[in-house]
Amino acid sequence: MAIQEQVPAKKSSDVSFLNNPVIRSTFYQVVVVALLIFFGWQIIANTAANLERLNIASGFGFLDNTAGFSIIQTMVEYSETSDYGRALLVGLLNTVLVAFIGVLFATIIGFVVGVARLSSNWIISKLAYTYIEIIRNIPLLLQIFFWYFAVLRAVPNPRNSVTFLDSIFVNNRGIYAPKLLFQDGSAAIGIAVIVAIVASIGIKIWARKRQMETGQPFRSGLTALGFIIGLPLIAYLAAGQPVGVDFPALKGFNFRGGMQLTPEFVALTLALAIYTAAFIAEIVRAGILAVSHGQTEAAGALGLRPGPTLRLVVIPQAMRVIIPPLTSQYLNLTKNSSLAVAIAYPDLVSVGGTVLNQTGQAIEVVGIWMLVYLSLSLITSMFMNWYNQRMALVER
């Protein structure tokens, strides 16, 4: 029987240059990076040439120029003589305000509707189902138009305002409500509020630790409520009642004094909150259904009523499923607030559009938009990721 000679395997140095996987992958990566740099340079060069041809100066020096236009809602001092930088700051604060309030109300409505969707009561369950299916299948822009044109613009004029408690007035120019006036000494109230919040958090941590060690619950919620109400009230009385109230009053053709919520702000906030809540409700429903039914049966066997079972057993476990998609809905709401330009609410996009039209600094303004929304999204994601880690199941 003939003995076959074994052919020695080729060394890596004998392999063809193009057949070497390490060299080939490195070569392709270098080519891709070079092409990206080339195309990027072409875009920059073409943009610079177009700006020079149109005689448009680049840079952010225009932010120091006088804006020359008014803004209907401002959270900081602003006038027509303010600069463009101040105007963009006003737009940014308005965007953050509507996003924060929208997230707050969307979360509350979404959790309530999501729990109601699983109710054993047929009417409540079907009402929640109808709300979800109708709201999330109507475009957000149409809902903004509905609240702005069909609802808020249809209410009476200031002289025929709808009145609540003789101090809140609703008309086609907005909602007018009492406004708090902080005077000298009111800083003590703010300090008392901070102390009350810190004390409430400390009591909550202590109560949870005590319950884990002894099994005995402690009504930390009522205690925290007492701190949050009691300490500021004591500080208010001790400082000589330094907080007044400015009530709105009809003078001429409009109301003066108090606090005004513009129709644009109310319509945008309602539309964003109600629309996003429909998606959050389905997320909450899915999270609750992801919890094993045995957990509910075990809680019932221990004598827990349905309310405490949902609050102490089901929801804490469901949050591990709810938080990741909930983060996406918060990001969507923040970015969807840019639709405010459709009803002239002065958010960052609306104010920035006016600045762009007056200055022609398109690249700079669009860059500011991108940077702001990217920053808001990253901040929101960082906070929700931190909260998700806090709620994660700890393995023993």
CB atoms within 10 A of CB 83: 16
What is the C-alpha to C-alpha distance for residues 296 and 311, in angstroms, rounded to an integer? 11
- Report residue 344: phi and psi, to 5°: 65, 30
Residue 1 pLDDT exceeds 50: no
Question: 332-343 pLDDT, tens per residue?
Answer: 999 999 999 999
Residue 3 has pLDDT above 60, yes or no: no
Check residue 266 and give its pLDDT.
Answer: 92
Q: Is the pLDDT of residue 93 over 50?
A: yes
Spatial separation of the C-alpha atoms in residues 260 and 245, rounded to whole Å: 14
pLDDT confidence band for 8 (50 / 70 / 90): low
Does 390 or 1 have the greater pLDDT score?
A: 390
Whether 313 contacts 296, CB under 8 Å: yes
Q: What is the number of other CB atoms lying within 10 angstroms of the CB of residue 263?
A: 25
Contacts of 203 (CB under 8 A, 6+ apart): 218, 220, 223, 224, 227
Q: How many other C-beta atoms are found inside a 10 Å radius of the C-beta of residue 62?
A: 18
pLDDT tens-digit readout, 131-159: 999 999 999 999 999 999 988 888 888 88
Which residues 6+ apart lie within 8 Å of 154 measured at CB? 172
Tokens linked to 218: 């402690």
Comparing CA positions, the residue from 348, 173, 352, 146 lying closest to residue 256 is 173
Long-range contacts of 200-208 (CB under 8 A, 24+ apart): 200/224, 200/227, 200/228, 203/227
Give the relative orientation of helices 84-117 and 122-135 as an angle to the nearest 10 degrees: 150
SS3 of 143-200: the string is HHHHHHHHHHHHCCCHHHCEEECCCEEEECCEEEECEEEECCCCHHHHHHHHHHHHHH
Nearest to 56 by CA among 43, 44, 69, 47: 47
Q: What is the pLDDT of residue 395?
A: 53
The mean per-residue pLDDT over the stretch 343-358 comes to 90
- Residue 4 pLDDT > 60, yes or no? no
Percentage with pLDDT > 90 across the chain: 32
Confidence at 349, pLDDT banded by 50, 70, 90: very high
Instruction: Give tens-digit pLDDT for 311-330.
Output: 778 888 888 888 999 999 99
Positive or negative, the CA dihedral 200, 205, 206, 210 is positive
Beta bridge partners of 255: 250
Q: How far apart are CA 262 and CA 150, in angstroms?
A: 15
Mapping DSSP onto H, E and C, the string for 254-286 reads EEECCEEECHHHHHHHHHHHHHHHHHHHHHHHH
